Amino acid sequence: MVGKIQLMRTLTPSDHVVVVGAGLAGWRFIEAVRRDGYLGAITLVGEEPHLPYDRPPLSKQVLSGKWDVEKTSLATSELVSQHEVSLRLGVAATALDVATTTVHLADGDMLGATHVVIATGSRARTMKFSAGDLVHTLRTRDDVRSLDTVLSTLRDAERVAVIGGGFIGAEAATALQARGLVPIVLEAAPRPLINILGAEVSSWVEGLSARVGIDLRNDQNIADVVALDDGLVILMRDGSSLSVGAVIAGVGAQVNDEWLATSGLTIDNGVVVDENLLAAPRVAALGDVARFMWNGPLGRELVRIEHWQVANDHAAHLARYWISGVAPEARLVPYFWSDQYGKKIQMLGHPRADDEVVMVAGSIDEEKWLALYSREGVVTGVVALSQPRALMLSKRLLDETTALEVALAEEPWAR
């Protein structure tokens, strides 16, 4: 457990907030703190050379060729000047001195701040294969640009391997198919998403790939990926091999917290922060990088959640807290969505894979359903396939702690 950190004072116009990480959480914090009335200085530090942009469309509209990558922009130069933000892009932060709230940069510069927001997110997990960088990842604009260059050289209906059948893998496969390529999804587990959605719900989702004619192979044990003159070969541990035109690895993310190793902050699978996202009185962490004290349906627990909506909610919470000194009271209800082989899956809450599951609406055959997760008789999550309205009607089951039997009696999804 982390104790609550005392807020020393609210922001004043003479403050200087340095936001490290020019992604979703960092930019949303800047928007929120300006909206809430902060008049002081803001500096935004980003390792990537780009202005803040959104990642979810990268594996959906951008990879499929429907959107130009520029359409993912969250901030334009005009918005940056409207928000009076000084930019330090293309340079990574390398260390943080918490006592003096000084951020050290890779180019040797030091930024003296009164408050620091850590929003360095996560990066794509990579796998070590002989083909090296020819195994593409899907996290940044630059990743998608280099992948697009390779995919553009492939013949129509050429095979592309997608390593990992999780959310990103399924989205990548769907986008490749939309481009006229033939994706083959190689999943290491007995079934995709089993460790996230649990045995039952993952089995309901499994059939979706076959429905759209995408070849999904479970229990795949890859020994190496080797580059040849005319493509790549995937060597499996069972001795078989697969020739493909390109390979994408969608095997999860790794938190960007290494730069804080000497800071003295508690770093343990992310930056450990309290319920108001504070790691120290004038240092906070938001979004993917934050391991925060969440007041969930079964009490307080430390969680790190890589969801778009959580980054937004964190940004709004911290801005309000630092401006007013009053913590927003509403419980954060994590929300996630993903496009799975042409269907939308949505989840509320933060259930565990071994929670109990009950389908309460729809059926697998209809490819429309809604299910509740529960633990110790309390609702811990709601998951839905192609039932967006019913899912949102069910949110109140998580806004307050709700017994499963009360949820089943009230059926808010059916209203």
Ligand X SMILES: Cc1cc2nc3c(=O)[nH]c(=O)nc-3n(C[C@H](O)[C@H](O)[C@H](O)COP(=O)(O)OP(=O)(O)OC[C@H]3O[C@@H](n4cnc5c(N)ncnc54)[C@H](O)[C@@H]3O)c2cc1C
Residues making contact with ligand X (CB under 6 A): 20-26, 45-48, 55-56, 58-59, 92-93, 119-122, 138-139, 168, 256, 259, 287-289, 306-309, 311, 336-338
* 376 CB-contact burial (10 Å; exposed 0-12 / middle 13-18 / buried 19+): exposed
Q: How far is the CB of 346 from ligand X (least distance, A)?
A: 9
Specify the residue, 242 or 322, whose C-beta has the smaller distance to ligand X.
322
Residue 167 structure tokens: 């959310």
Specify the residue, 3 or 108, whose C-beta has the smaller distance to ligand X.
108
Specify the residue, 140 or 404, whose C-beta has the smaller distance to ligand X.
140
Q: Which residues of 171-209 are buried (b: 16+ CB within 10 A; e: fewer)?
A: bbbbbbbebebbbbbbbeeebbbbeebbebbbebbbebb
Q: How far is the CB of 59 from ligand X (least distance, A)?
A: 4
Phi and psi of 147, rounded to 5°? -65, -40
* Bridge partners of residue 272, in order along the sequence: 291
Specify the residue, 245 or 270, whose C-beta has the smaller distance to ligand X.
270
As a whole number of angstroms, the distance between CA 20 and CA 35 comes to 20
Specify the residue, 242 or 335, whose C-beta has the smaller distance to ligand X.
335
Q: How far is the CB of 127 from ligand X (least distance, A)?
A: 16
* CB-CB contact of 159 with 185 (8 Å): no
Specify the residue, 310 or 407, whose C-beta has the smaller distance to ligand X.
310
Residue 239 structure tokens: 């001795």
Specify the residue, 129 or 335, whose C-beta has the smaller distance to ligand X.
335
Q: Which residues contact 386 (CB under 8 A, 6 or more apart)?
A: 343, 344, 367, 368
Q: Pairing relation of β-strands 278-280 and 122-124? A: unpaired
Q: How far is the CB of 291 from ligand X (least distance, A)?
A: 12
Q: How far is the CB of 231 from ligand X (least distance, A)?
A: 24
* CB-CB contact of 145 with 69 (8 Å): yes
Q: How far is the CB of 143 from ligand X (least distance, A)?
A: 8
For the chain, the farthest-separated pair of C-alpha atoms sits apart, in whole angstroms, at: 66
Residue 91 structure tokens: 């340079």
Q: How far is the CB of 126 from ligand X (least distance, A)?
A: 14
Q: How far is the CB of 142 from ligand X (least distance, A)?
A: 10
Query: How many Cβ atoms are within 10 Å of 243's Cβ, its own excluded?
Result: 13
Vertex 374, ends 369 and 377: CA angle to 5°? 135
As a whole number of angstroms, the distance between CA 168 and CA 76 comes to 27
Kindly report the three-state secondary structure assignment for every residue of 282-317.
CEEECHHHEEEEEEECCEEEEECCCCHHHHHHHHHH
Specify the residue, 127 or 223, whose C-beta has the smaller distance to ligand X.
127
Q: How far is the CB of 284 from ligand X (least distance, A)?
A: 12
| Cα→Cα distances 332→170, 188, 348, Å | 27, 33, 10
Q: How far is the CB of 373 from ligand X (least distance, A)?
A: 17
Q: How far apart are the first and last CA of the chain?
A: 39
